[in-house]
Structure 1
Amino acid sequence: MNYYEQQIDLYFELKGTPDSSKESYLRRMNTFIKFIQDRQISMDDITINDIQQYILFLKRERSLCAGTINNYISAIKFFYTYVLGREWDAKKIPRMKRPHKLPLIPSKEDVLAILQATTNLKHKAILMLIYGSGLRVSEVAKLKISDIFAVKP
């Protein structure tokens, strides 16, 4: 694996990838490599079928969610194409569909209870603004006084 790690380090250094992303990719690639080695398959002999079997293993045996499996697929694709120099077939190794979940909307009573329990006036104003206007937290965080009140010069 030392040769592979050197190739991976070189790529991420040239690209300027953050250490956290590099560590995430390495962790996922190492897990895949261990899976392959446990089955006594040479790195040069890895096939699309081996990758498919690993993805099924992640899904069935480890019960990982679609988003996590897609992260593994990205790391394996990088390893397979960049390090091993092989051709990736996206038709045979599709990314998993992530279920679309609708947001949970709290009841009016729950919202009122939260507002009544909030003692800090600033926090209460922020919560009321979020609830009353439908703004996202990030949108409220970027608000300026001029966005709410017309400021006259």
Structure 2
Amino acid sequence: MDNNEQVLSRFREDILIRGLSKGTLETYTLNVRIFLTYCNRPVDELDVEDIRKFLQYLIHEKKSLPGTVNTYSAAIRFLFAVTLNLTLNYLQIPARKGAKPSPKC
């Protein structure tokens, strides 16, 4: 795909075709837009290392919660797997472990 706006347009179409919710559409689109802006390169030049660097940025610089990081990760994985039709090694993009709730007495 030629540019990131075309990629985002196709990404939105893919989400709608899958029947995902409007909330998922909005969240995933915003997350992927932020990812692409962070990387500041054409999407066809991005790879797993770019994803890992971005997720580390979210964790260490932005101090994002595990659920937020996992939502970004899911949106980016959808972008690569569905919209770009690229195979990733998902073991290289692990999910964040959340804090366990305190036991109730």
Give the TM-score normalised by structure 1.
0.61
1:45-84 equivalences under 5 Å are 45-84=45-84
Aligned-residue offset at 1:47? 1.6
Count residues with an aligned counterpart: 102
Inter-partner Cα distance in structure 2 for 1:60 and 1:25 = 21
Inter-partner Cα distance in structure 2 for 1:43 and 1:54 = 14
| C-alpha RMSD of matched pairs (Å) | 1.5
Q: Pick from 34, 38, 41 the counterpart of residue 35 of structure 1.
A: 38
Q: Say yes or no: does 1:19 pair with 2:22.
A: yes
Inter-partner Cα distance in structure 2 for 1:95 and 1:80 = 16
Instruction: Return 5+ residue gaps in structure 2 as ranges.
Output: none
AA aligned to 1:42 is: P
Contact 2:12 2:29 in 1 (8 A): no
Inter-partner Cα distance in structure 1 for 2:12 and 2:51 = 23
Q: Which has the larger radius of gyration?
A: 1
Give the TM-score normalised by structure 2.
0.87
User: Higher relative CO (CA 8 A, sep ≥ 6), structure 1 or 2?
Assistant: 2
- SS across alignment from 1:95: coil
Instruction: Return 5+ residue gaps in structure 1 as ranges.
Output: 106-153
